Amino acid sequence: MSKKDNYMKTRILGRSGIEVSELGLGCMGLTFGYGPPANEADAIALIQKAYELGIIFFDSAEAYSQGANEAVLEKAVKSFRDKVVIATKFGFQNGDASKGVDSSPARIRAVAEASLKQLNVDVIDLFYQHRVDPSIPMEEVAGTVGDLIKEGKVRHFGLSEAGVERIRQAHAVQPVAVLQSEYSLWWREPEKEILPLMEELGIGFVPFSPLGKGFLTGTINEATEFDKNDFRNIVPRFSEKNRKSNQALVDLVKNIAVEKNATPAQISLAWLLAQKPWIVPIPGTTKMHRLQENAGAVAVELSKEDLSKIETAAAIIEIHGARYPQHLQERVGK
């Protein structure tokens, strides 16, 4: 197998100057979204292991258990806080994603103050709008975060799942450092308009769900049963029928993995890393062995021939099912 140095290198997120590890850690699943929260000691141990593996970019949000996620992260990174970059987010009513969006200036400020306290920091490294709020002009949102930056409470402004028009509106008022949206081998919509815009404006791109919410690991099939509180139960793409239909993509990734002496997850992450030098995926996990496996993706080298082969094979595979149920789909790409 052709392998690169197994050492986690760094990348710069666009023209922002934010230097992070080439893979980050999405912390959501430690407390939210995929069944019961992880045991706190286990969650802390996992975050600390990520740091040992060279990961210095951690992603949280107020909406991940109303601040509990930030609190766990704070405990985990306390001894090396000045060596890592922490991202968190605002944008939901009372920090509850089920209650709808709220990016009013007062709410943005309230979340900033709460996050500063939960994370036990003087400044938030990267502050994302979690979802676009159609009722608040984007210029007002960007201006409010710009004021927080001037006040020294926030370093960089980010958006999540925003569309081209809103990104341009925000960027004109306060430079958008990073966009975080879903992107993977089985959700390639950002390639149409978003990635070209990132290139044009010099914005870094952080793909969440880079492993297709676990599907691209090859460990999920039509017989898989999720915890009753697992978000994937309401995702059309994860219906039993669609999981069966979508196995074709997993089979492609598995075949490449065998050739490269890697795992499907590592191939999926290596593919993302090969797309652009300013892309930094943030796979999440609650399992130590998965964390180590994901980190190993930085050692997998995909040649131009490998990438071309994946492209050709993927082009004829139809992906079945929407990535969100309708009520959540309405919040993205605005």
Q: Give tens-digit pLDDT for 173-215.
A: 999 999 999 999 989 999 999 999 999 999 999 999 999 887 8
Give the integer Cα–Cα distance in Å for 277 and 13: 8
Tell me which residue has tokens 């969440």. Answer: 208
Give the integer Cα–Cα distance in Å for 311 and 193: 18
Angle at CA 6, nearest 5°, toward 4 and 7? 115
Q: 205, 18 in Cβ contact below 8 A?
A: no
Domain assignment present for 309? no
Domain assignment present for 129? yes
| H or E element in which residue 2 lies | none
- Looking at residue 111, which CATH number applies to its domain? 3.20.20.100
Give the integer Cα–Cα distance in Å for 172 and 180: 18
Catalytic residue among 7, 34, 51, 64: 64
Domain assignment present for 316? no
Domain assignment present for 187? yes
Domain assignment present for 314? no
Q: Known catalytic residue: 64?
A: yes
In percent, how much of the chain has pLDDT > 90? 73
Q: Is 279 left (phi over 0), alpha (psi -120 to 50) or beta?
A: beta
Domain assignment present for 253? no
Q: Which domain holds residue 97?
A: 10-211+276-300
Please list the helix, strand and coil fractions of the chain in percent, rounded to the nearest 5, in that order. Answer: 45, 15, 35
Lowest mean pLDDT among 68-77, 203-212, 270-279, 323-332: 323-332
When divided into structural domains, the chain yields a total of 1
Domain assignment present for 241? no
Query: What is the tens place of the pLDDT at every residue in 116-130?
Result: 999 999 999 999 999
Strand-pairing partners, residue 205, are 179, 279
Domain assignment present for 322? no
